[in-house]
Amino acid sequence: MIKQLTLLLSFLFISCNSHQGDENNNSNSIKNKTTLLKIANESKDDIAVIYTNYKEAFSVANSENKPVFILFYTKYCRWCTKLKETTLKDTTLKSRLEKEFIVLFLDKNRDSYPKKYKVRGVPAVYMTDKNEEIFTSMVGYHKNPKDYLKWFDYIKVELGN
């Protein structure tokens, strides 16, 4: 509880200070916001780093030579929440996501991303290579972490690992 409170207070302090200075430097404030969201997501139960900016995630994917796991969600989607709070917290699934992928969460209605992602329903998961080539996608809530683990094995084969 104390760790969470400290993290929350740090987040509030940093976010209040991140908007001071040159307000015309929009890219800097976007980068700071993304970094803050990654820090706020860090905990023992959550995936350590979750990107929320499409360009930043693919920049890191290129530099680390990793495929990208994209979850499209909406704020009020109960199945999206259930996926994030249960399935994606499975220890084996979480471990593989952290080691093998860049994890990107995008709000279908609010975040910007290329039109090639034809997201009609949520939750929707897309698996891509570092060059934004889509391998596969899946729409809907899938409770069993093994569904995702099978996908991960498929991606390894596709990438020749």
What's residue 45's pLDDT? 57
Distance CA 27, CA 17 (A): 16
The amino acid at 26: N
Q: Per-residue pLDDT for the chain (161 aa), expressed as one digit of tens each? A: 444 434 333 333 333 333 333 333 334 434 444 544 554 444 455 788 999 999 999 999 999 999 999 999 999 999 999 999 999 999 999 999 999 999 999 999 999 999 999 999 999 999 999 999 998 899 999 999 998 898 888 877 877 76
Query: What are 63's two structure tokens?
Result: 């530099």
Distance CA 146, CA 130 (A): 23
Contacts 24+ apart (CB under 8 A), 110-113: 110/75, 111/52, 111/53, 111/54, 112/54, 113/54
Domain boundaries, the chain: 1-43, 46-159
pTM of structure: 0.72
Taking the alpha carbons of 147, 112, 24, 14 in that order, is the dihedral positive or negative?
negative
User: In which residue are the tokens 């997501």 written?
Assistant: 41
According to DSSP, the residues that pair with 125 across neighbouring strands are 71, 138
Query: What are 87's two structure tokens?
Result: 């399935």
Say if residues 136 and 154 touch (Cβ distance below 8 Å).
yes
Phi-psi domain of 144 (left: phi exceeds 0; alpha: psi -120 through 50; beta: other): beta
Query: What are 38's two structure tokens?
Result: 């990654």
- Taking the domain 46-159, which CATH number applies? 3.40.30.10
**DSSP per residue, 117-161:** S---SSSEEEEE-TT--EEEEEES----HHHHHHHHHHHHHHHT-
What's residue 12's pLDDT? 33
Say if residues 130 and 58 touch (Cβ distance below 8 Å).
yes
What's residue 58's pLDDT? 97
